[in-house]
A = this chain, B = another copy of it.
Amino acid sequence: MKAAFVIFDQMTALDFVGFYDPVTRLKSMQIMDDFEWDICARTPQVMADRGLRFQADVIAKPLSDYDILFVPGGYGTRQLQHDSVFMDWLATAVTVPLKISVCTGALLLGAAGFLYGRRATTHPSAYKELAAYCHTVVPERVIDEGGIITAGGVSAAIDVGLHLVERLAGSPTRTRIANQMDYPYQPGQT
């Protein structure tokens, strides 16, 4: 199983890293030895919304062969949803069986047509923009529609990462990884 973590200029770093941490523990904690991933971008380096610079592993290659697509949010999404070069690239993920967004990453999944007819969520400040792309905006932290999972703003990245861990490896593994992350919280228990 191989995941594509998409990164781009003006993304919010925590949208990405908050999801990346629990999910990549499936490999580092030897729970799923065949779990692999690439950091995928249009350019070799991206600069997040407050200047933090990340290196990509795979540059401007089609996304069609991955099993999981992950898209973070951030101010960059506002332009990218109308950027035909970026959107043509993201559209190569149409065949990826499981697509996941955090925060305004949902606008990119939406602009690619992946949310058509679906329930979805995003950062509370972007509910109205998301409504144009999906059937119903649901103001919850994680919305799992089977082939598409969307999450709320920024810090919801950790919760949807743990949600994916549970879906792929079961509830005891979710607990084990959350403990290793020293994460005592659960959505709905605030």
Using CB atoms and an 8 Å cutoff, list the residues of chain A in contact with chain B. 12-14, 17-18, 20-21, 24, 27-28, 39, 45, 49-55, 57, 103, 123-124, 141, 152-156, 158, 180-186, 189-190
Contact = CB atoms under 8 A, between A and B. Distances in A.
B123 A182 contact: yes
28 contacts: A14-B18, A14-B21, A17-B17, A17-B18, A20-B50, A20-B52, A21-B154, A24-B50, A27-B50, A28-B49, A39-B52, A53-B54, A53-B55, A54-B55, A103-B182, A123-B182, A141-B182, A152-B182, A153-B182, A154-B180, A154-B181, A155-B181, A155-B182, A155-B183, A156-B182, A184-B190, A185-B190, A189-B190
Contacts of A186: 190
A182 to B, nearest CB: 3
B124 A182 contact: yes
**Number of copies of this chain that the complex holds:** 2
Which are the 9 A-B pairs with shortest beta-carbon distances?
A: A153-B182, A53-B55, A14-B21, A184-B190, A155-B183, A17-B17, A185-B185, A154-B181, A24-B50
A9 to B, nearest CB: 13
A53 B55 CA distance: 5
Contacts of A12: 21
Contact of A55 (B45, B123, B183): B45
Contacts of A17: 13-14, 17-18, 52
Given A182-B152, A185-B190, A190-B189, A28 B50 contact: yes
